[in-house]
Structure 1
Amino acid sequence: MDKVNLPPNPSKLMEGLRDTGYDFNTALADIVDNSVDANATKIDIYIKMDGDGDKLIMVADNGCGMDKTTLKDGMTYGSKGDNNPKRLGKFGLGLKTASTAYCRRLSVITRHSADVEPLKATWDLDHVVKVAEWELLLESPTNFEKKYLEKTAENSSGTLVIWGTIDRLLKEYATPGGKYEQRALDKRVKSFREHAGMIYQRFLDPEDDRARNIEMNLNGKPIDPWNPFFESEPQTEMVADESIKVEVGDGTETEFQIRAFVLPRNENFSTEEAAESAKINNDNQGIYIYRENRLIHPADWLGMYTKEPHYSLLRIEFSFNHELDEAFQVDIKKSQIILNEELYKFVHERFLPAPRTAANDRYRTGKKKKVQEESEDAHDESNRNISGKEKDLKGAEIDVVDEEQNDVEVTNKSGKVSIKLDIESSVKPGQVFVKPVESIVDGLLWKPALVDGNRAVLINTGHPYYSKVYVPNLSSGVLIQGMDSLLWSLIEAELRTMSETTKNHMQDLRFEVSRILRKLVEDLPEPVLEEE
């Protein structure tokens, strides 16, 4: 058998690896991961641009640093690394592929102790293309580079990573370095600040003892931790907490932790600032996945469910260590996982149903209250319209027999009929023909009633048809009047035509129509109310 050694074309491979799909936040976090792995207690990140539009990104740390051998290994594609399976950077590619996804010149300046001169190694893609060789540049650090390494390392070991010749961060602007490009860069900075605060929360929060504390700064300002579960809020409720033992491939046993939190509604947070920080919306519901205390995949249901508003208060914390990398199929960018069939089934069928019910209940309670508040004035025009025409449309007489028992007698063209009819008082002047109520027995959408002696329709604001069809149109007087007129005419027709033999059929009809409407609007979107 013949064998032949076929090394890859360096320029083709390097250029090809620029397109591995890194977004900016993920790519820069990959560099920060290396600083965390180096046991740094301080990490400084800089994202800068000069007046000509030339951009520079640097990450400095006071970690263990590298000697010449370790530096060369670290700059090797597919490097061996230190073989520590707990490392956040675990594939030996992140430093290179994440960096060159956005820059054409990657430099690493490092020292493994305070009493040695720093070393520098550079991958320059333009140089590699020119010489068509895997030629790493070993250079002397500039005074500028030494200065920024020293600012963070402060007479100790440390590393400075620099992205130069950045060509993929922003689009080209007519005025390079001008206010529009600076504004776009500021958005990138703000986005990464929020991203880093979220994924390194356990490291940044001195109150969280699950990970060692790290000081992390971006452009000279501290990055604040963002805990998606807001456990410090009095009304945050942990509704499930399990530690599950798992046997891995070699027969050893490990475990993962999964907890479910139902957050308060916006109006129930302790302060307006806390409510704003919690970012209660569809995007932030779901499972937050942590590997070795670093968030690797936020706010997703992993294909189990779609994101719906009534689960916007539910957030799941899922934590595991490196021993479960294979079971969870962690990808090279550490940006997602795929659960194997057994774990997927456990989370989907056994763990999530109860927390989803709790989140739905809390959402619905507040939603019903808000819908009721918004509906209070929505039917005024309908009441005025019916008031002007009601006498001309009168087709049945109603006499109250026993107000306490809701017993009435209806006289229509079929004769006299004894029925039970809700007898109510208006809650506001003029609301005597169409009255919104929080609920109706049996979940009916509507039913007839007497309000201040007037034939009226009660409309159930707790029915899904009301929240999904009425509520989005509350500002449209014509549509609301049209729907109100339809329901009022149905109760008027019911009272005109009922007899002793048909009176129960009318109630059955309302029940069936209400049930069918509930099903028909099931897939319609939930309304966005004013507070949302």
Structure 2
Amino acid sequence: MAEWAASVPTDGSVELPPDPRTMEAIGRNHSFETALADLVDNSVDADATHVLIRFVRDQGRLCSLYVVDNGHGIGPERIDEAMTVGGRRAYGEADLGWFGLGLKAASFSQANQLTLLSRAKEAPAVGRRWRIDDAKTRFLCDTVPESFAEHELEQDRGLPDTGSGTIVRWDQVGGFPATDNESHVERFVSQKVVDASNHLGLVFHRIIESGRVTIVFDVQDARSTSPSSPIEVESINPFDYHRTGATGFPKDLKAAGDRSLTFRCHIWPPRSTARQFKLGGRPADHQGMYFYRRDRLLQPGGWEGVHAPHPKLQLARVEVEIDRDAEALLRMNPEKSRVQVRPEFSHACESARAEDGTSFSDYFAQAVRVYEAGNKRRKTRKPMIRPGRGFSPGLRDTIDAEIEALGADPVDIRWRDFDDDRFFDIDRTEQTIWLNKRYRKMLLGDRHAGLNDLPLLKTMIYLLMEDVFQGDYLGSRDKDNIELWKSLLTTAVRAERR
């Protein structure tokens, strides 16, 4: 029988510094959105009240990205620690950081150059720069002259002055388009801002709602002093419904045992088209557990083995707070975008009960009943002809989700010149509602005209007129109603012009 040793003996040690090529590997699981979230974590930990994320263009090309905050900053004695790969400072009870990799991993996942400029109160400005190409052969971090760091930190970027703050700058960003075509760059930036705003608004929704931090995006031309108008990140709370989907919910289920673990179980109302329910995708993809650590959302959905995903469970969402006790049952990935649960977590779910005895099985059954009842009510609605050109995509999506479609060509709504002052007319042959262009500028105010402009007005007229496009001919009652509506709305829009 082979002998087995309970421990492995050693007779010395050797220092094995990391291969510089490891710089290329860290942060590979980050997306652009999760990388920005990691940088915002640092700003929140620094007690920043405002964070600016700025795209910088030079001669039409995107060249840099800045993340600027007005937090407490980093002093000369800590700047090297902050830029050390794997450097793990002492984190406070409320801090969002954990691994010591956030700044570097997030930045190197997106850019070849990372510059950190910072100033603590009553301390000189300091700066460091990492370049991945240099780090392939050596672990030498460049120092940035104090004068340059001071100049960058002194610039007015619209943040409240606290006497301290930090700038994270990315250069040679891999995902930026290699073109100076203005329309292409603008489309790219617009989409990036939308995607990143949605992600940050979801991840930090509690922190934004509490007023702790304001996050904005803008675009700056390197040869101009005037940036674009700022776009503020809005909170997207995945539990923000006006009424619960089931009486008695949300309901707290508490796990049995020594560890304190509570599952706050929600049931959304059926057929919701709210942004915070759809979360930019199919609602069925967002059912499950929402894990929070210190008010920061780590994972939006997923049942983690407690139940298989199912379309009929799309109304079920559960808030889980990761505190000291819960940390023993799961762990988060370095990107802070997913959690991995241990077997004990499933046991905790099985034992969890509400005060009235409700278990997870009861909760799932109730969520399914609410979903099925909502679907039955939907089937009693009268089918409608779909809206076509001129209507906002959001309206078309909502009607697709809520109402059965009639098998007819979509109804368009368009602007054209009229010979008189009628507000609108209908053309059943062309399946079109025509609006009188003479009123368009007045109704728009200072907004720009576009194919899908004035969505509220167009939606109301569509709801009023949709059924007159049904059938092969108009009855006398339909014709009389059309003339009545034309008269009333024309009178109203005339009054609006005065």
Query: What TM-score bracket applies, with the shorter chain setting the length?
Result: 0.5 to 0.7
SS in 1 for 2:163: coil
The range that moved more, 86-95 or 334-343, is 334-343
Tell me the equivalent position of 2:141: 135
- Paired residue type of 2:264: R
Aligned in 2, Cα 1:278/1:201: closer, same or farther, shift over 3 Å?
Answer: same
Query: In 2, distance between residues paired with 1:331 and 1:39?
Result: 24
SS in 2 for 1:69: coil
Tell me the percent identity. 24
CA deviation map 1:314-368 (0-9, x unaligned) = 1111112255334212221222222222321332575422221111111111212
Tell me the equivalent position of 2:355: none
Tell me the equivalent position of 1:223: 233
Q: Say yes or no: does 1:55 pair with 2:68.
A: no
Structure with higher RCO (Cα < 8 A, 6+ apart): 2
Q: CA deviation at 1:197?
A: 0.9
The answer to whether the Cα contact below 8 Å between 2:126 and 2:149 also exists between their aligned partners in 1 is no
- Paired residue type of 2:142: L
Query: In 1, distance between residues paired with 2:279 and 2:17?
Result: 51
Query: In 2, distance between residues paired with 1:217 and 1:124?
Result: 27
The range that moved more, 273-282 or 196-205, is 273-282
Aligned in 2, Cα 1:202/1:473: closer, same or farther, shift over 3 Å?
Answer: closer
Q: CA deviation at 1:186?
A: 1.9
Aligned in 2, Cα 1:319/1:53: closer, same or farther, shift over 3 Å?
Answer: same
- Paired residue type of 1:359: A
Query: In 1, distance between residues paired with 2:155 and 2:138?
Result: 32
The answer to whether the Cα contact below 8 Å between 1:198 and 1:295 also exists between their aligned partners in 2 is yes
CA deviation map 1:176-217 (0-9, x unaligned) = 4542343133212111101111111111113xxxxx722222
Tell me the equivalent position of 1:359: 367
Q: Say yes or no: does 1:189 pair with 2:197.
A: no
Tell me the equivalent position of 2:213: 214
Tell me the equivalent position of 1:313: 315
Q: CA deviation at 1:107?
A: 1.1
Tell me the equivalent position of 1:17: 26
Tell me the equivalent position of 1:81: 89
Tell me the equivalent position of 1:41: 49
Q: CA deviation at 1:108?
A: 1.2
The answer to whether the Cα contact below 8 Å between 2:63 and 2:171 also exists between their aligned partners in 1 is yes
Q: CA deviation at 1:32?
A: 0.5
1:229-248 to 2 correspondence within 5 Å?
Answer: 229-233=239-243, 238-244=249-255, 247=258
Aligned in 2, Cα 1:135/1:158: closer, same or farther, shift over 3 Å?
Answer: closer
Gaps of 5+ in 1: 207-211, 248-253, 376-471, 476-532
- Paired residue type of 1:90: W
Query: Number of aligned pairs?
Result: 361
Aligned counterpart in structure 1 of residue 203 of structure 2, from 196, 199, 202: 199
- Of Structure 1 and Structure 2, the greater helix share is in 1
- Paired residue type of 1:24: F
Query: In 2, distance between residues paired with 1:195 and 1:275?
Result: 14
The answer to whether the Cα contact below 8 Å between 2:54 and 2:66 also exists between their aligned partners in 1 is yes
Query: In 2, distance between residues paired with 1:187 and 1:23?
Result: 14
Tell me the equivalent position of 1:117: 124
Aligned in 2, Cα 1:280/1:365: closer, same or farther, shift over 3 Å?
Answer: farther
Q: CA deviation at 1:17?
A: 2.0
Q: CA deviation at 1:147?
A: 4.0
Aligned counterpart in structure 2 of residue 162 of structure 1, from 165, 169, 181: 169
Q: CA deviation at 1:235?
A: 5.2
The answer to whether the Cα contact below 8 Å between 1:122 and 1:139 also exists between their aligned partners in 2 is no
Q: CA deviation at 1:264?
A: 1.2
Query: In 2, distance between residues paired with 1:13 and 1:278?
Result: 35
Q: CA deviation at 1:58?
A: 1.7
The answer to whether the Cα contact below 8 Å between 2:288 and 2:316 also exists between their aligned partners in 1 is yes
Which structure would you say has the larger Rg? 1
The range that moved more, 363-372 or 146-155, is 146-155
Aligned in 2, Cα 1:292/1:275: closer, same or farther, shift over 3 Å?
Answer: closer
CA RMSD of aligned residues (A): 3.3
Query: In 1, distance between residues paired with 2:195 and 2:378?
Result: 32
